[in-house]
């Protein structure tokens, strides 16, 4: 409830992000570069909330891919020449990202219907018109865990194709965390939902930066 009131008032919920991030050096007031490049800002929390409303499951993984590949220190693990390099650089990566998103979403929906946890606004006996930033009519499946978080976790598949220093993967990690938790800013998931979605998606914080 506190997060939703802050977002509606145009206030960035720094405390909420800091509370649930696993690393002490995390700065909740910095939008990770892949999301900053998409126009998201802490000065506009409603826009961040709406970014995870009626988007597609591939939007976030592709945004991370574009940012990682734009970094001079990032290189393809299978360097080739001519057209093979192009195929390894983007089409092969996009194919694996899509497969990972599909697998993660299948698993998360099994999780949702296994536990059948109601949406956060249902806990308070509120309609989504009152609690959610934008009503869509799509909040009909159980809450735990979050599908957006599971789909976002597919970004980990980038490590299969790209060599990059740890700082780049840390930015990707923080971006995944942000994107997952924006569903709380929207008012449709709890922190536990988001963490479960990332976990079911196979996203391990420490493995991501090792």
Across 139-144, average pLDDT:
76
* Other residues' Cβ atoms within 10 Å of the Cβ of residue 135: 13
Q: Which domains does the chain have, with CATH numbers?
A: 2-209 (1.20.144)
Quick one: pLDDT at residue 77?
84
Using the predicted structure, report yes or no on whether residue 55 has a pLDDT greater than 70. yes
CA count, 13 A, side-chain hemisphere, 152: 30
Q: What is the pTM of this model?
A: 0.88
pLDDT on residue 196 = 92
Encode pLDDT of 100-141 as tens digits. Answer: 999 999 999 998 888 877 777 777 776 656 666 665 555 668
Res. 11: pLDDT tops 60: yes
């Amino acid at each position: 409830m506190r997060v939703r009131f802050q977002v509606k008032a145009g206030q960035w919920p720094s405390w909420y992000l800091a509370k649930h991030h696993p690393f002490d050096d995390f700065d909740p007031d910095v939008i990770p570069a892949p999301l900053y490049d998409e126009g998201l800002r802490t000065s506009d929390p409603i826009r961040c909330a709406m970014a995870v409303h009626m988007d597609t499951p591939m939007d976030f993984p592709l945004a991370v891919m574009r940012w990682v590949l734009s970094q001079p220190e990032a290189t393809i693990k299978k360097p080739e020449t001519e057209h093979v390099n192009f195929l390894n650089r983007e089409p092969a990566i996009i194919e694996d990202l899509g497969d990972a998103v599909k697998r993660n979403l299948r698993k998360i929906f099994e999780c949702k219907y296994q536990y059948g946890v109601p949406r956060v606004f249902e806990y308070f006996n509120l309609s989504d018109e009152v609690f959610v930033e934008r009503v869509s009519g799509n909040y009909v499946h159980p809450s735990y865990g979050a599908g957006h978080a599971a789909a976002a976790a597919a970004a980990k598949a980038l490590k299969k194709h790209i060599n990059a220093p740890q700082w780049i993967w840390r930015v990707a990690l923080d971006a995944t965390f942000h994107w997952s938790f924006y569903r709380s800013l929207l008012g449709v998931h709890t922190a536990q939902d988001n963490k479960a979605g990332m976990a079911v998606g196979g996203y391990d914080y420490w493995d991501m930066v090792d």
